[in-house]
Each structure stands twice: as C-alpha cells, then as structure tokens.
Structure 1
Amino acid sequence: MFVLGITGGIGSGKTAVTREFEKLGINVIDADIAARTVVAVGSEGLQQIQQRFGDDILLDDSSLNRAKLRAIIFQNPEQKQWLEQLTHPLIRNEIIKGLENSASQYSILVSPLLIESGQYKLVNRILVVDVPVELQLERTCERDNNPRAQVEAIIASQLDRDTRLSHADDVIINNQSIEHLSQQVAQLNQQYLRLSEKTHES
C-alpha cells in the first residue's frame, strides 16, 4: 500500500489540496478527525482525560471542553506530555485502521503534525503544502477571525517552515489560483499512481 503524507502550516491550504486529490478518487485519512474520534463521548481516551482532570474538563453534553484542556496543557508541559502519551498511540491506531480500510489506488494521510508526531513513519512520501508566512497570516486571520498576534503565536509554535520543507519529497506552492492548484495536484497524482503501481509490483 502506497501512502502519501500531506502536511503544512496553518493557513497553507492543506484542505484545498486534499479536496483536489479527493476529486480524483483518492481516499484521504485526516489525522485531525482521528484525533477527535479518540476523545469522543464514550471513548477510552475521554474517560482517561476525565479521570485525570475531573468532570470540569467536560461540557454540558459530556463532550471534551477542548478550550479548557488546551489552556491547561499550554501552561503545563508535564500535563501536555501526559496527554500526548495517551492520545498519540490512539490516534496512530485510528489512522492505521483508516488506511487499511482504504480502497483507492493509493491513500493520503493529511496531518498538521505529520513530522512532529512521528506519523511520517506511516507514509512512503511527504508532500508539503507551502505558502509565504505573510499569506499564512492573512488567510488564517480571515478564515478563523483570530487576532493577528494569536495567529503569529500559533505559527511560532509549529515546526518552522525550513525544517518542514527539509522533510519534503514534493512541494506545492499554494499562492496562486485554485485552477493552478488543480493542475499541480493532477500532475502529482500521475506521479503517485506510478509509484503506487511500483509498490504493488514489489
């Protein structure tokens, strides 16, 4: 099974890129969705979080209060480490399940933390979606309605651009029209189909 990993900073356009691949019939497994699934109501992950942080970590509908948990781990590296040790293996298993159930010629794992979390070990090739930092800021402020300083802090907390690019096998520069993006994706798709065939042959 040939798996392509897609990553990029906030506001780089990972969603737009994966949407183009999906139009071409390629299955996409989203690490963010896997991360939400493993702490959904009734999950083992949420039970353990509740045991550690108390009932206050839940919202009225018994789901996880993400904002509260984020605030706790942002201030406390030990709690952050505990949470990562709990959730990373659960997320990994959820991703593997998704990849095993995928029926397209190759599959995509899209993850903002592909490199930092070690999820890159699940993929054969890495595609980085890249944009200039100024455009990242502009897009994210507009999309999420967040103040610029907050978006700058998020970008600063992520893997820096040069390090991310150093892991890339392929790069999409996503600073032009959606038509241009579609063309880049169509070309890469042909390349990945060929690589996938070689993987099946070996």
Structure 2
Amino acid sequence: MTTKRRIIGLTGGISTGKTTVANYLASAYKLPILDADIYAREAVAVGTKAINAIASRYGKQILLADGSLNRQQLGAIVFNNDTERQWLEEQIHPQVRHRFIQEMKQLSTSPIVLVIPLLFEAQMTDLVTEIWVVYCSKQQQLARLMERDGLTTEAAEARINSQMSIEEKCDRSDIILDNSSTLKALLQQVDAAIKTQNSQLF
C-alpha cells in the first residue's frame, strides 16, 4: 500500500510573509523548498524565449544594458494593465509549472513545499495536496510592501490589487497562517500545521 505524498502549496498575498514561513520550514524541519519566483526569474533570463517575446512586445527599452529584464519598467506596465499582465503570465506560468514537475520528480522526500504566490491564479493547485495561506491585514500588507520595495502607496496598491484577494485565498485554503501579530505567534502556527495536518505523512 502506497502512502500519498505530502506536497504543501504555500501561498498568500505579496508581502504577507511567505518567505518567512518557507525559511522556517527549511531551517527547522529541513524541508525542500521549491520557489515559483526563482523559476519565474529563470524563465525570463537573458536569451530565453520569454524575454525575447517581452522585448518584441514592449521594445528594446524594456531591457537593461546587459540584456536582462528591466523589472521596474515592466512592473509599471503590467501592474496597471490586466491585459498586459495576463499576456506576461501566459509566457511565464507554463515554464514555472514545468520546472516544478521536473524538480519534484528528483525528490523522494515528503513533505515538499512549493512556494507559489499565484497558486490559484496560475491554476497550479493540482500540483499540491494541501494549501497553506499566509495572511495579514491589507493595511499591514501595504505598509510592509512599501517599506520592502520602496514603493509609493499607489504602486503598492496596484501590485496588491493585481492578485486574488487574500480573503478569497483564505477561503480556498486548508491552513491559514495569521501573520498579523508576532513572529513567534506565526511560527507556532507553522509548527501546529506541520504536526496536525496529515501528520501521518510527515
């Protein structure tokens, strides 16, 4: 009899604390962490099909002098235009999905953690066996994002609003990790989630 492999999909809104949770799972529980953001950056590396398509669509000015992507300029386009954001995601998401599948095939351990900010939006829920959402209030999210990336209120709000609302993500999750108070409180919730949710698989 085979036991179902435990694959945790870790998601949330931008700047809600996904990286904090992922780093803790890696350090405290030695879990392998597969990160969609890393694969997305690989997908638009110099010379890739995606970056060539981006340059063709927006012009060579979307590239830096070394041929890499000008992320700030691209962000200014896609976070204010749903059509352009959807087009960009269509260039990147299939490659990110492919990388997840490749990497999971190489791992025999369980659990595995897939950090996917756009887990629902990119329709990757079928890759995981349970979904954890890191939550905080929109006011906290906005303040953290502005501080982290040096954004104006308007720019930060555009990035937050480009994603599915955190409330909807919570409604569709198995575990909600509330990151609205202290780090200690957040990590205690992570400990509880690891030990209780499908504990027989750990």
TMscore range, shorter length: 0.7 to 0.9
Aligned residue runs from structure 1 range 32-181, under 5 A: 32-74=37-79, 77-181=82-186
Provide TM-score, normalisation by structure 1: 0.86
- Ranges in structure 1 where 5+ consecutive residues have no aligned partner: 198-202
Aligned residue-pair number: 197
* CA-atom RMSD in angstroms: 2.2
- Ranges in structure 2 where 5+ consecutive residues have no aligned partner: none
Corresponding letter in the other structure for 2:109: S
Aligned to 2:24: 20
Alpha-carbon distance in 2 for matches of 1:129, 1:195: 23
What is the CA distance between 1:15 and its match in structure 2? Answer: 0.7
Q: 1:10 to 1:92 in 2, by over 3 A?
A: same
Alpha-carbon distance in 2 for matches of 1:35, 1:178: 28
Q: 1:45 to 1:3 in 2, by over 3 A?
A: same
| Secondary structure of 2:134 counterpart | strand
Aligned to 2:6: 2
What is the CA distance between 1:103 and its match in structure 2? Answer: 4.2
Kept in 1, the 8 Å contact 2:79–2:158? The answer is no
Q: 1:176 to 1:103 in 2, by over 3 A?
A: farther
| Secondary structure of 1:176 counterpart | coil
Q: 1:55 to 1:36 in 2, by over 3 A?
A: same
| Secondary structure of 1:96 counterpart | helix
Q: 1:134 to 1:121 in 2, by over 3 A?
A: same
CA displacement 1:59-101 (0-9 Å, x = unmatched): 1111112233333445655544433222221111112222222
CA displacement 1:108-139 (0-9 Å, x = unmatched): 11111111110112111110111122221222
| Secondary structure of 1:41 counterpart | coil
1:183 to 173, 179, 188: 188
Alpha-carbon distance in 1 for matches of 2:146, 2:54: 31
Percent identical: 36
